[in-house]
DNA sequence: GTGAGGATTATCT
DNA sequence: GATAATCCTCACG
């Protein structure tokens, strides 16, 4: 049922994944997050502008193979020599697009998530930071390339529960803006393909480097908050 | 609070 | 051999 959502291109799917609940099971326990921040990436075979920021921008390779695979499955990659990142594959098989899950709120299994994070960094971690940022999120969930890449998101070890569209009530406005860490025009205002729940403390910080494009946030049509709460949310993150 | 710099390695040119 | 869909620490204000 909800699986069909992933037949759409990532740009369409991304905002609909906000407020979704994702559980990842492991022998040592389960961790569940509520998704608060995502980014869309297109690729070969997908409609829309050429996405120079996508791993699948030109062709299929060993690393990005899962992005060309069946929708509703995971694409996990390893980057910067130390982090894993979790994506949800979109578009029909053969066409490459995906949604990077950038941040979430740990709603159950916080103890285990904390253990996993602390194993790498000794200091105590604020609950809101447990799954803040793609690398931290994957670590908190115990997601790795060798065990999770290419796996069905609707079957163990994953369990994905999408919000019912008719009942969806994001806790804040749904905002969008440029993607984080993407170089060149694909990382600028022409590609406002990052979506997040405004004002949510678990959304990752935007850290523009020197000379980077200024951050331009827009209200997304999916927003449902009352006008009174918009003022506060407009400045986040 | 903000920003610069380093860590660390699979993947692709 | 260069790059990367990142994160953390530390210096400075």
Cβ atoms of A181 and A207 within 8 Å: the answer is: no
**Domain count within chain A:** 1
Give, as ranges, the nucleotides of chain C with any atom within 7 Å of a protein CB. 4-9
Q: How far is CA A129 from CA A118, A137, A199, in A?
A: 12, 9, 14
Give the bridge partners for A98, in sequence order.
A41, A89
Nucleotides of B under 7 A from a protein CB: 3-4, 7-13
- Nearest residue to nucleotide C8, by CA–C1' distance, is A121
Q: What is the pLDDT of residue A217?
A: 66
Cα angle A97, A160, A220 (rounded to 5 degrees) comes to: 60
* A102, closest nucleotide (Cα–C1'): C5
CA A161 to C1' B9 (Å) is 34
Token pair, residue A227, equals: 């006008």
CA dist A38 and A174 (Å) reads 11
pLDDT tens digits for range A174-214:
888 889 989 888 988 899 999 999 888 999 876 544 444 55
Residues A109-114, mean pLDDT to the nearest whole number: 95
Q: Establish whether the linkage from the previous residue to A237 is cis, with ω within 30° of 0.
A: yes
Residues A84, A76: Cα–Cα separation, whole Å: 7
The Cα A165–Cα A109 span in angstroms is 26
| A78/B8 CA-to-C1' distance in Å | 12
Cα angle value A147/A79/A74 (rounded, 5°): 40
What DSSP state is assigned to residue A132?
A: B
Q: Which nucleotide is nearest to A182 (CA to C1')?
A: C5
**Are the CB atoms for A103 and A203 separated by under 8 Å?**
yes
pLDDT at A209: 43
CATH code of the domain covering residue A176: 3.10.300.10
Which residue has 């949604």 as its token pair? Answer: A99
pLDDT 10s digits, A63-93? 999 999 999 999 999 999 999 999 999 999 9
For residue A162, the cross-strand partners are none
Q: What is the pLDDT of residue A229?
A: 39
Q: Which residue range(s) make up the domain with A59?
A: 1-237
- Whose CB is within 7 A of strand B? A 58, 61-64, 78, 80-82, 145, 207-210
Alpha helices in chain A (DSSP H): 10-13, 110-120, 134-141, 145-148, 227-233
A13 falls in which pLDDT band (50, 70, 90)? very high
Distance from CA(A133) to C1'(C10), angstroms, rounded: 21
* Separation of alpha carbons A194 and A176, rounded Å: 5
- pLDDT (0 to 100) of residue A205: 75
Q: Which tokens in the block code for residue A23?
A: 């559980």
Residue nearest to nucleotide C9 (CA to C1'): A121
Strand C contacts (Cβ < 7 A) comprise: A 39, 41, 53-56, 64, 67, 75, 79-83, 85, 87, 98, 100, 117, 121, 123, 129, 132-137, 179-183, 204, 207
Q: What is the largest CA-CA distance in chain A?
A: 49
Contact between A18 and A176 (Cβ < 8 Å) = no
Q: What is the pTM of this model?
A: 0.91
pLDDT the model gives residue A211: 44
């Amino acid at each position: 049922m909800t699986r069909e959502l992933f037949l759409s291109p990532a740009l369409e799917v991304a905002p609909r994944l906000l407020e979704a609940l994702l559980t990842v099971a492991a022998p040592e326990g389960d961790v569940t997050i509520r998704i608060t921040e995502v980014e869309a990436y297109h690729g070969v075979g997908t409609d829309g502008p050429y996405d120079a920021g996508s791993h699948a921008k030109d062709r299929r390779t060993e690393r990005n193979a899962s992005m060309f695979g069946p929708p509703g499955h995971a694409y996990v990659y390893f980057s910067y020599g130390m982090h894993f990142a979790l994506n949800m594959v979109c578009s029909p098989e053969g066409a490459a697009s995906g949604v990077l899950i950038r941040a979430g709120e740990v709603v159950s299994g916080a103890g285990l998530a904390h253990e996993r994070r602390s194993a790498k960094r000794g200091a105590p971690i604020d609950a809101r930071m447990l799954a803040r940022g793609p690398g931290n999120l994957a670590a908190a969930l115990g997601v790795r390339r060798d065990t999770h890449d290419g796996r069905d998101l609707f079957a163990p070890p994953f369990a994905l529960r999408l919000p019912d569209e008719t009942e969806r009530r994001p806790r804040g406005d749904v905002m969008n803006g440029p993607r984080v860490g993407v170089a060149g025009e694909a990382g600028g205002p022409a590609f406002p393909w990052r979506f997040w729940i405004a004002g949510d403390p678990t959304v990752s910080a935007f850290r523009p480097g020197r000379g980077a494009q200024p951050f331009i946030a827009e209200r997304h049509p999916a927003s449902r908050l009352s006008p009174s709460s918009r003022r506060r949310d407009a400045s986040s993150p």
